[in-house]
Amino acid sequence: MKSNNVVARYRDGRILKGSSLNIDPNRPTFHLRTEDDGVKILMLRELKALFVVKDPNGNAMFEESFDPTPGDVRLLGSITIAVHFEDGETIVGMSRSYPPVASSFFFMVPIDPKSNNIRILVNLEAVKGVDRVEVDAPPVARAVGSS
């Protein structure tokens, strides 16, 4: 099983980077193998969000777009939302699990396909507000032979 590179951002501003195999929003904890190979057990409720990333170091110079990419098939079946965190950060992305039914956590993916973030597990307790963003969904491709 492949581990996920993650960046755990705490509500108090702390950041831990590492990898994890067992991220489950329905469980209160998960294991994080840190960059120095230590293993920590993290409490989800203490986090602002958990970012599953391509590169744990990211690119500080990259400016993420808040606009959807025309024709992005990820828009199909998703709602587009702007998540406003209590620390002032806003992330625009898509979710198929918002609003969460039986949890205070939900996954979203960034609207920018070039983002270093692959998906984000958001803690609603660290959120000041969520706005739905209206976007034009890509046209649905017609099956061959359909009329």
What pLDDT does 68 receive? 86
Q: How many residues does the chain have?
A: 147
What pLDDT does 147 receive? 42
Radius of gyration of the chain (CA): 16
For residues 71 and 14, what is the distance between their CA atoms, to the nearest angstrom?
Answer: 37
61: left (phi over 0), alpha (psi -120 to 50) or beta: alpha
What count of other Cβ atoms lies within 10 Å of the Cβ of residue 108?
A: 25
DSSP designation for 138: P
- Rounded to two decimals, the pTM is 0.87
What pLDDT does 1 receive? 64
The secondary element (H helix, E strand) that includes residue 123 is: strand 117-123
Torsion of CA 2, 100, 115, 140, to 10 degrees: 100
What pLDDT does 142 receive? 40
What pLDDT does 36 receive? 85
Per-residue pLDDT tens listing for the chain (147 residues)? 678 999 999 999 999 999 999 899 999 999 999 988 799 999 999 999 999 999 999 998 999 988 888 888 888 889 999 999 999 999 999 999 899 888 899 999 999 999 999 999 999 999 999 999 987 655 444 444 444
